[in-house]
Structure 1
Amino acid sequence: MSNTNDDGTVYLSPSRLATYADCQRKFDHDYVKDVSTPDQNRLYLNQGLAYHETIEAVCEATDPDDDADVIYRRAMDAFDEKWEANLDPDEYETRAHQDYQRAENCAAIEAFFDPEGGDGIRHARRSVATEKWLESIHDGLGLHGYADNVLRTEDGLHIIDYKRRLSGIITSYTAKYLEEHLNGETHEPGRVKNAFQTATYIEGVKQSNLYEEGMDVRFTFYALFYETTAESTPDGFEISVRGRPRETTGVYDEYYDTIWGLIETAHEGITSGAHAPEPFELINEEACSDCDYREMCPEYLAEEVRR
């Protein structure tokens, strides 16, 4: 999403900035020309809606002193409702596939809201806002987006972004690639997006009505399906799921200047309408093979003709 306020500040979402950081021509096709492509991930997007809406419903209904068993039952009731609302049986090729994925998602919610220490119990009790719209301005660059959950902690506020898995999510060991991406030496749009998300939500919370001077602000990606195991049983199968958090506050602090350099580059490129892929050789090598727009991309087609 993007919008411009009365003083001319352009606000951009992490998704738009990340698409531009991946490939400027892809951004042009996706957001400027609005070229539609087949959505091959609809099934998993709908599953994501089901568990995101489940967590939101539980957090909105929970008070800080609610019993853990009450929260757990609330979660399982909400999951049944949200799964029915978001998933269509026709999306699945077989009934077995449908049954397995429902059981897998149900197991993730059960583990997250486990009364005996599931992280979801703490998230629900400490939640002060879900799907919180956040906006911020930093040196004239506007950022905005929805934060999945904001928790009140003893020291301040903790923003949570719920993911399916942590594969590819930035760590303190891989953050070094941010600078290499900024310098055009490597292509790391996924980790760059993680950096954009971290910056957007930390700065957004600091400029929101939730923030009080002196508060500590943290940001974490939480993978609900971090570890999934399935075992055969006489009646079919049994699924076990375990979630895991990955905090990126430290990465943001350590690579602050690099991250804002990346944001500035993408932000100014978008607002100026610069859509030529740069550096094209690297983008062509790393990104073109998986791009839905390559058959209509002038740079890609020209390179294919040249070859």
Structure 2
Amino acid sequence: MTDGDELEARTVGPEPTEANDRPTAPERLPVDAVETFLRCPRRYEFAHVQGLEGTDVDDRPLEDRVALLRTAICDALRGVGPEPGERALLEAATDRLEALWADYDERFHSLTQRRHERRVLEATLEAYVDAVGVEHAAGIARLNDELDADGALIGPELPLSSRISIPDETHGTSDAVSIDAAVDYCYADGSSIVGVRFVPTLRSLGLLRYRTDWEGAVAEAFTDHFDPDADAFEPSFVGALFETSVVLDGLRDRCERLGLEDRTCRYVQIPLAERSQTSVNWVRETVETSLEPIDLTKPYIDHHTYGMTHEHRNRTVDDRLERRVASLAAGDVDPTDRWDEISSEVCPDCEYAVCCGDYVAAEVRFDG
């Protein structure tokens, strides 16, 4: 059995029987499974219970190129000295990208397009180094010195997890589910340990891109998503807050194991493919871009909770996450209560629509 098979075996519980009339809660779930469940429970069932793999051919090349940048940056951070200058860090990242690009087999329309996309990636590396690269490399060096970690907190795909207990009052038991997430590296910033995740874009964050406080618009939008009487359906926005909760809890757990219990934890996303920030001079064949990292801790943190615990937590988000994981673990995949929103906003682009009974039943109707 491969590692993937083993994970699937642990993730998908046995079918309920007369002796055991409820499905066994999965032991582990990726955080994107929770976001998929928010988007559509049936979509979650197809993707994460039945194990059907959906393919979005439009997004795959973009994700593959981000993966190249993610690897190049992390390898450069691991390989440079404790106080690299911009030039040294950029050269290390560019050299690593060159090696990865030589084996990159995406089918481009022409050699001209391939050269252009290479220039876009190189410009993104320059933007990263200019915006935060040297600062983050110094923070990694401080953390390595303090822990004698020797690069152990550099990924890519550094795993984190948050363990969520699911009480069952009927059976008098409690299941625990680990929600898995990842960051690409961690660095020290004052009294905080910061987890950094490279993502393609920040478009799905919605309000989280423009607000720095939980209180007010963010809290209202989050609450409205779960209010059946409110005209709101924001699964990506809510999913990002859930992901932030999981990452911060995973970072706290990692800090405790490393003897850093006194540190607060933060979560930062850096978009590597925001084409709206990119300008191209086709005559000179040059590309310029910029990066705008976002600290998701700021709109996530509930300052009332922080005032009592001195930890970056949000009880409202954490409670809702627990309830959604409980529903998911119980096998509640009926989309009826949000079908109007799901059918109009999710179904049109869903790769599972062709085999979804709810979608087919809604589309195929007979008069009379």
TM-score range, shorter chain: 0.7 to 0.9
The 2-side partners of 1:214 and 1:158 are apart by 14
The 1-side partners of 2:48 and 2:323 are apart by 17
Deviations 1:80-107 (A, max 9, x none): 122233x214x22233322221111111
**Tell me, what secondary structure is at the counterpart of 1:122?**
helix
Aligned residue number for residue 297 of structure 2? 249
Note if 1:135 corresponds to 2:161: yes
User: Which one has a larger percent strand, Structure 1 or Structure 2?
Assistant: 1
The 1-side partners of 2:189 and 2:26 are apart by 32
The 1-side partners of 2:56 and 2:203 are apart by 22
- Paired letter, 2:163: I
Aligned residue number for residue 158 of structure 1? 194
* Within-5 A mapping of 1:203-214: 203-208=249-254, 209-210=257-258, 212-214=260-262
The 1-side partners of 2:53 and 2:243 are apart by 25
Match of residue 352, structure 2, among 271, 289, 293? 293
Aligned residue number for residue 39 of structure 2? 22
Task: Judge conservation of contact 1:63–1:125 (CA < 8 Å) in 2.
Answer: no
CA RMSD between the two structures: 2.3
Task: Judge conservation of contact 1:47–1:83 (CA < 8 Å) in 2.
Answer: no
The alignment-based identity, stated in percent, is 20
Structure 2: state its 5+ residue gaps.
1-6, 12-24, 144-152, 166-175, 212-216, 303-312
The 1-side partners of 2:329 and 2:43 are apart by 15
Task: Judge conservation of contact 2:218–2:299 (CA < 8 Å) in 1.
Answer: no
Structure 1: state its 5+ residue gaps.
none
**Tell me, what secondary structure is at the counterpart of 1:198?**
helix
The 2-side partners of 1:113 and 1:219 are apart by 19
TM superposition score normalised by structure 1? 0.88
Aligned residue number for residue 119 of structure 1? 132
Match of residue 96, structure 2, among 78, 81, 89? 78
Q: Which has the larger radius of gyration?
A: 2
* Within-5 A mapping of 1:148-297: 148-169=184-205, 170-171=208-209, 172=211, 173-174=217-218, 176-184=220-228, 185=230, 186-208=232-254, 209-210=257-258, 212-226=260-274, 227-233=277-283, 235=284, 237-254=285-302, 256-277=314-335, 278-297=337-356
The 1-side partners of 2:87 and 2:319 are apart by 47
Task: Judge conservation of contact 2:160–2:180 (CA < 8 Å) in 1.
Answer: yes
Task: Judge conservation of contact 2:182–2:197 (CA < 8 Å) in 1.
Answer: no
User: What is the aligned residue count?
Assistant: 297
Deviations 1:92-145 (A, max 9, x none): 22333222211111110122124xxx4112222323512322123244553222
The 1-side partners of 2:55 and 2:252 are apart by 38
The 2-side partners of 1:289 and 1:174 are apart by 27
Aligned-pair CA distance for 1:225: 4.0
The 2-side partners of 1:211 and 1:223 are apart by 31
